[in-house]
Chain A
Amino acid sequence: MKAGEDRRSRRKFLKTSGAVVAAVAAPAGAAKAGQESQSLSLSLDLPLLHAFAEAVLPAEIGADGVRDALRDFVTWMNGFEPVAELPHPYLSSVEVQYGPPHPAPRWASQLQALDLLATRQHGSGLADLPVEKRRELIAADLERHDADADLPRPAYAGHIAVGLLARFYSRPRIADLAYGARINAAACRDLASGAVLPPPLATDGVQG
């Protein structure tokens, strides 16, 4: 994809993403999230996030896949409840455990810093760099953050790249893409269908 097309794609996403954020104000399972959470995800520069995602996520999923992944990521952020009560650990009597604060402000500042770094090192913002160059910058930033091999739960990700990838790879449809089969993890299903080899994934890849 040429840089010009890239920018047009991002502009398209800019328009789309505004609608996405509005549309995800009350997604399934996000009922507990209030206005505070929504404003946190809105503080992320969505066109910049899109440029960032293009470098982090597999190219194989295509432009539609990136848009879908970002829609899911933003929805997830909008539904996040800071410092939520967590399940009690098994075989432990420790006091009630609570989750982390909202990661969006931390991630927003990292994204902004990457953009500034791109400008200072290359004379143009992250979004205007070729994907490979963006990836190099992001990889260097991840090395500075000493990111582990294992992907954590998204909210615990110290770096926005880890958060995005953790959410992306936790999605059942991405597991299906990797396995080439319709496992459809975490979906309720009739008893018999779980007993047979999952059918192959349709040729349209991520859909389904």
Chain B
Amino acid sequence: MPRVIEADVAIIGGGISSAMVAERVAEDTEASIAVIEAGNRIFDFEDRFNTRRRFLDYGENPYQGDHIPGHSCKNAQSRAMSVGGLAMHWGGTTPRYSPEDFRLRSLFGVGTDWPISYEDLDPFYQEAEERIGVAGEPGPPEYDPRSGGYPMDPLPTSYNLTLAKEWAEKSGIPYWRNPVSKNSRPWRGRRECIRCDTCSICPTGAKYSPDFTFRSLLGAGRITLHDRTMVRRLVPRADSDAIGQADAFHRDDPDDPVTIRARHFVLAAGYAWSSHVLLMSAGGRFPDGIANRSGTVGRFITGHRWVNAFVSVPMRLYPGIYRQDSLLSKRFQHKDDEAQPDGKYIRHDLRIWESDVGKRARLRDDHGNLLLGDAALNDWRRRIETGSLRMRGYYDVIPARESALTLEPNRKNRWGDPLPRIDFVDDPVSAELRGYTEQKIEERFRRILTAGGGAMLNISFASDYDHPGGGCRMGDDPDDSVVDAWGRAHDHENLWIAGAPTIVGSGCNNGTLTFAALSLRTASRLTGEL
């Protein structure tokens, strides 16, 4: 293993943001690119039918070893860490953020405006959709604007969702297909989806995951990939504030340091580990960490909460064909009197999936009697005369400055480095409106139930944030943000931060496509300097 890694561009982190930056830089320039990832390289595609089978039969992790024992961020979204990152496991759901998400202060008088608009990001959304392959149908333009079409037609709506859409729209709320990074036709060397319905482990490669990009770039000799290599700190040059090197080690030989030298460093390690590296790099002229003159590294960790309900509906459904398929409505992300009827800040999406909750075979009936022999099958048949659906709303939460990732000095990994923790803290506006928001979403669920018929089986409310980001948020003011509108660190001219850490807010939709688009926007500026 190399003790010194030299490249024009060193990308720290091996998830989807890294893949987007690497691919764009490789296409646009002749620059040498090194990708550094602390986790393992799990290029398992050829074995995925087998791992999928074991996942179905035994519930085993289809990506064995996709973590680093003892190395975790408390309250992070997932324990996983490997080449490909969380986008190995993801469901491939790819809605964009809404235009309103970028202008909360201007439109609603809350939160912070991004330094870029939806229109600024739109071409990079389009590019991300092309690169990863997104199939979708455009929603109503007033709620879901886009300058171009989807690269692929939507996957055919499942039978169950066709019925669910008719049912839900009796409420007057429009629903459309949630876009997905799954091929409705062969796309960039990957197959058409065949609805295996285990998207977290897609056996055909119809769902995008970053391993495809990395394998392609490796095959073309355009990157070097250094897995199991953990970056400990970024070190500024002696004669300027530019980053001169990254200090790392290989997990197989931790006592022998690895030095990474590059003209440009791109931190693409996700919302947790990007901030972690910057804070770990404190020292010398940068006592609070690299890129942290503003004191906002690790701050403004953002995300959205959800309200989730399972409902019984008066129609016969057949769950199990394509459970991953979902309907989306951005009706209540818009600014108007119906979305915010009381003049208070409330914005959320609405989603619907098929479900089998309340409709599975069981061992006891409602009275607690055991069901053995024919009784269980008869009980099951009686209950599936009607169907069930899952409804959910993600609502926007404005993060407080204190919503932060910090280092825990007394919790260290096996190499002696302090590990991070995240504490989610709502901005006072969101804290005050939390109960109101949850109640309003529940009312909207009940509006749909009243119009279409059915009953609430259960409802639950999230405590923590989903689809988190932030920690290195972008902004025009170097005193209140970590990177500029292109993802370049205010404090270090050759340090770029890509994707999730740079977001200002999480809006109401899954974040991965936005992280990919932001990464491509960062790469577009970086390539101009190579």
- A11 to B196 CA separation, bound complex (whole angstroms): 39
Closest to A131 in B: B373
Contact with B along A56-69 (1 / 0, CB 8 A): 11111000000000
- Inter-chain contacts of A150 with B (CB < 8 A): 360, 362-363
Within 8 A of A (CB), among B48-98: 50, 53-62, 64-67, 69-70, 72-80, 89
Q: Does B197 contact A (CB under 8 A)?
A: yes
CB of B429 within 8 A of chain A? no
| Contact A55-B320, Cβ < 8 Å, known A79-B58, A93-B78 | no
Q: Is the interface of B mostly helix, strand, loop or mixed?
A: loop
Q: Which of B69, B159, B193 interacts with A197 by CB under 8 Å?
A: B159
Which of chain B's residues 233-252 have a Cβ closer than 8 Å to chain A?
A: none
Interchain nearest-CB distance for B228 vs A (Å): 17
**By the criterion CB–CB under 8 Å, are A172 and B320 in contact?**
yes
Evaluate contact between B57 and A88: CB separation under 8 angstroms. Answer: no
Least CB distance, A57 to chain B, in whole angstroms: 7
Q: Does A4 make an interface contact (CB < 8 A)?
A: no
- Which B residues lie within 8 Å of A59 (CB)? 373-374
Q: Is the CB of A79 within 8 A of B192?
A: no
B60–A84 CB distance below 8 A: yes
Q: Give residues 198-213 of B contacting A (CB, 8 Å).
A: 198, 200, 203-204
Name the contact of A186 in the complex, choosing from B74, B320, B364 (C-beta under 8 A): B320
Chain B interface size band reads 35 or more
B368 contacts A by Cβ under 8 Å: yes
Question: Would B370 and A142 count as touching, CB distance under 8 A?
Answer: yes
Determine if A189 is an interface residue (Cβ-Cβ < 8 Å).
yes
Any chain B CB within 8 A of the CB of A195? Answer: yes
- Say yes or no for A99: interface residue by CB 8 A criterion: yes
Bound Cα distance A29, B65 (Å):
19
Whether A208 sits at the interface, judged by CB under 8 Å, is no
Q: Which segment of A13-21, A105-113, A175-183 sits at the interface?
A: A175-183
- Asked if B195 is at the interface of the complex by the 8 Å CB criterion, the answer is yes
Tell me the complex Cα distance, A9–B51, Å.
37
Q: Assess the A55–B61 pair: CB atoms within 8 A.
A: no
**Per-residue 0/1 for A150-165: is the Cβ within 8 Å of any B Cβ (1 yes, 0 no)?**
1101010000011001
- Chain A's closest residue to B60 (CB) is A84
With A91-B464, A172-B320 already in contact, the answer to whether A188 and B195 are too (CB < 8 A) is yes
Partner of A93, one of B55, B72, B157, B162: B72
A29: chain B residues at CB < 8 Å are: 50, 53-54, 57
Chain A residue at minimal CB-CB distance from B47: A31
Q: Contacts A149-B368, A162-B363, A195-B159 hold; do A188 and B203 have CB atoms under 8 A apart? A: yes
Q: Once the chains are docked, how many angstroms separate the CA of A55 from the CA of B374?
A: 10
Where the two chains meet, the residues of A that have a C-beta atom closer than 8 Å to any C-beta of B are 28-29, 31-32, 55-60, 76, 79-81, 84-96, 99, 131, 135, 138-139, 142-143, 147-151, 153, 155, 161-162, 165, 169, 172, 174-175, 177-179, 181, 183-192, 194-198
21 contacting pairs across A/B (C-beta < 8 A)? A29-B50, A56-B372, A81-B58, A81-B60, A84-B60, A84-B61, A86-B59, A87-B61, A91-B78, A93-B72, A149-B363, A149-B364, A149-B368, A155-B59, A161-B372, A179-B384, A185-B197, A186-B320, A191-B156, A194-B158, A195-B159
- 13 new A-B contacts at CB < 8 Å, known A76-B57, A135-B372: A29-B57, A59-B373, A60-B377, A79-B54, A85-B65, A93-B75, A147-B370, A148-B363, A150-B362, A165-B361, A174-B361, A186-B197, A194-B195
